[in-house]
Structure 1
Amino acid sequence: MAALSSGVLGALDPTSDRAVFRQIADQVREAIDKGRFKEGAKLPSEAELVEHFGVSRMTVRNALSILQSEGLVSSEHGKGVFVRPRPPVRRLASDRFARRHRDQGKSAFTVEAEAAGSKPEVDSLEVREEKPAPDISARLGSPRKVLARRRRYLLDGRPVEFAVSYLPLDLARGTQIAEPNPGPGGIYARLEELGHRLDHFDEEVRARMPSPAEVKMLRLSSGVPVISLIRTAYDTEGRAVEVCDTVMAADAYVLAYQLPAN
C-alpha cells in the first residue's frame, strides 16, 4: 500500500457523473503518464485498489481492462499488472536510408537497433517468386511476377516488425538479392551495385488494429495497434525498384521526421 498511501492515486469524486471504473482508470492513466508508475513497474494489486477506492473487485477489473485495451498495461498471470515499456526505437525517416549506412554494411534496422542499445535479429525469413497483388504490381509497373522477401525483425528477442519486400524479377533473379542473406548493407546495397542508384523513397503510413495473424506474428498484447507502412524505392531513372510492405508494433516505435519549412 506504500504507493497508494504516498498519494500516487487520489480519491473518487462522488459528485461526478463519470462511471466509477472510468474514474479509477483515469487516475491510474494519469499516474502512468506523469511517471508516478514507471515503465515496467507493477501496479497495486486488485485487493489494494479495492481497499483504496472502496469499490468492488469487478469495478477494479473493469478499470484495469480499459488500460490494457489502451496498451498502457499488461497482465501477467500469477504476477500482476505492469506498466508497458514506452517505444524504444526512434525510426528516423530522414536518416535511416542514408547511403553512408549502406557503405558501412549496415541495414536501416541495424542502425536503429544500435541507436536504441538493442540487439537486432531477423527470423521467419522466406524468399520466393510469386504473383504480386494488384496494388503492389501497379506500384512496380505491373510485372507479372516478383521476388518476395518476407522476414520478421526482433529487438532483444521481441518481435517488433514484419516486412515483405517485392522486387521486379528482371532485377533480382539470379542475384544475391534472391539469396536468404543478401550481404552487407542489404538489398539496397545490392541494387546500387547492379547500377540502380537509389534516388528517393515514397512512404504511406497509417495506424490500424492488427489482424489475428499479426497479433500472433508480433506477439501483441490486447489493445496494441500496428503501424502499416508501404514504401516504394525509386532509382535515379525514376523506376520503382522495390515496394516494401511493413507492419510494426505501434508500442515499439516512434516515427520521427524532419520536414523542410520552405
Structure 2
Amino acid sequence: MTSLPGVLGDLDPTSDRAVFRQIADQLRDAIAHGRFREGEKLPSEAELVEHYGVSRMTVRHSFSLLQGEGLVHAEHGKGVFVRPRPPVRRLASDRFARRHREQGRSAFLVEADTAGSHPTVDRLEIREEKAGQDIATRLGSVRRVLARRRRYLLDGRPVEFATSYLPLDIARGTPIAEPNPGPGGIYARLEELGHRLDHFEEEIRARMPTPTETKTLQLAPGVPVIHLIRTAYDTGDRAVEVCDTVMAADAYVLSYQLPAT
C-alpha cells in the first residue's frame, strides 16, 4: 500500500466508525490544517484506493460526504478540488454607527473595507408593493412599502442578498427610491428626512438554503445560510425600515460587543 506521507494516515480497523467516514475525516483534517489548500486537487480515487486498500465506491462515498459539507467540488474528468471560500466579512456590532454614515459610507462598504475586499451590488430592484403580514406587523401595520432588493458581492463572489422595506409615506419621491440613494445609503437619507435613528433590532438564525437562494448566492452543496431580519427605529420609536437579508454562512463571522451591566 503506497502511503501519502505527512498528509494522510491509516484506517483504524478497531473503530466502529464506517471506513468511508474515517477517510473523509482524514481528508477534512488535512484541508483544515492546510495540507490541501484552496483550489488544490485532492488525491485521485485510484491513489486513495491504493493508499487505504478500499474500493472505489468507498472513496466516492467519502468524496460525496465532503461535497455535502461544501468543502470540495468535483470537476468532471479532472478530479476533486478543495473549494475556494469567499472572503470573510466580519459582521460587527458597530456597522451601523452614525460616524460611518457621516463619512458617507454604507454598512456594506465599511465591512468590505475591513475585509480588504472590493464590493459591488447588482440585481437591484426598487418598487412599491403591498407589505406582507410579517413586514406590515414589524413596521406598525403599514400597508404599502417601498421595497429595495439587491445582491452584494465581494471580489465578484455573491455573499448576500437583501430586501429593505420602508413605509411608503416616508420613502416615496425621495432619494431612497433612487437606484443610488447617495453617500451613507438609505440610513443617511432617513436621517436627513428627520428620522434620526435610535436603535436597531436584529433576529438571526441559521438554516439550509432554498433552491432559489442556492442559485442566487452560488452556494456549494451543504453550505447553510444566515437569515437576518433587522428593524430600524427612529428616536420617536417608529419602525422606519425592515431589512430581510440572506447571507452565505461561509462568508461571515458574527462579531458583537455586549455590555456586561
TM-score by length of 1: 0.94
Residue 29 (structure 1) aligns with = 28
Question: Residues 78-108 of structure 1: CA distance to partner in whole angstroms, max 9, x if unpaired?
Answer: 3332223456233333221111111111111
Residues 104-147 of structure 1: per-residue CA shift (max 9 Å, x gap):
11111111112212111100000000011111100000111100
Match of 1:260 in 2: 259
1: CA distance between counterparts of 2:151 and 2:67?
Answer: 25
Partner Cα distance (1:84, 1:258) in 2: 32
Q: Which residue of the partner structure matches residue 94 of structure 1?
A: 93
Q: CA deviation at 1:198?
A: 0.8
Deviations 1:4-43 (A, max 9, x none): 5322110011122211101101111122222322333322
- The letter for the 1-side match of 2:37 is K
> In the alignment, is the contact (CA less than 8 A) between 1:87 and 1:253 conserved in 2?
no
Cα deviation digits, residues 166-211 of structure 1 (max 9, x gap): 0001110010001111111110010011111111110000011111
Aligned-residue sequence identity (percent) comes to: 80
In the aligned structure 1, how far is the partner of 2:242 from the partner of 2:254? 19
Q: Compare 235-244 and 44-53 and name the one that shifted more.
A: 44-53
Q: Does the 8 A contact of 1:137 with 1:144 survive in 2?
A: yes
Distance in 2 between residues matched to 1:43 and 1:85, nearest whole Å? 13
- Tell me the residue number matched to 1:225: 224
Map 1:13-28 onto structure 2 (within 5 A). Answer: 13-28=12-27
Give the aligned partner of residue 110 of structure 2.
Answer: 111
Unmatched tracts of structure 1, length 5 or more: none
What SS does the aligned partner of 2:104 have? coil
Task: After TM superposition, list the pairs within 5 Å mapping 1:20-169 onto structure 2.
Answer: 20-86=19-85, 88-169=87-168
Give the TM-score taking structure 2 as reference length.
Answer: 0.95
Q: What 5-or-longer segments of structure 2 have no aligned partner?
A: none
- C-alpha deviation, 1:47, in angstroms: 1.8
Distance in 1 separating the partners of 2:67 and 2:155? 23
Match of 1:211 in 2: 210
Which secondary structure state, in structure 1, belongs to the residue aligned with residue 64 of structure 2?
Answer: helix
Native 8 Å contact 2:159 2:247 kept in 1: yes
CA RMSD of aligned residues (A): 1.5
Residue 184 of structure 1 aligns with which residue? 183
- Would the alpha carbon gap of residues 76 and 105 (structure 1) be closer, same or farther in structure 2, given more than 3 Å must change? farther
2:101 corresponds to which letter in structure 1?
A: R
Question: For 2:59, what is the secondary structure of its paired residue?
Answer: helix
Contact 1:90 1:256 in 2 (8 A): no
3-state SS, counterpart of residue 44 of structure 1: coil
The one-letter amino acid of 1:189's match is A
The 8 Å contact of residues 87 and 154 in structure 2, kept in 1 or not, is answered as no
Measure the CA separation in 2 of the matches of 1:179 and 1:8: 54
SS in structure 2 opposite 1:5? coil
Q: Which amino acid is 1:68 matched to?
A: Q
Q: Name the count of aligned residue pairs.
A: 260
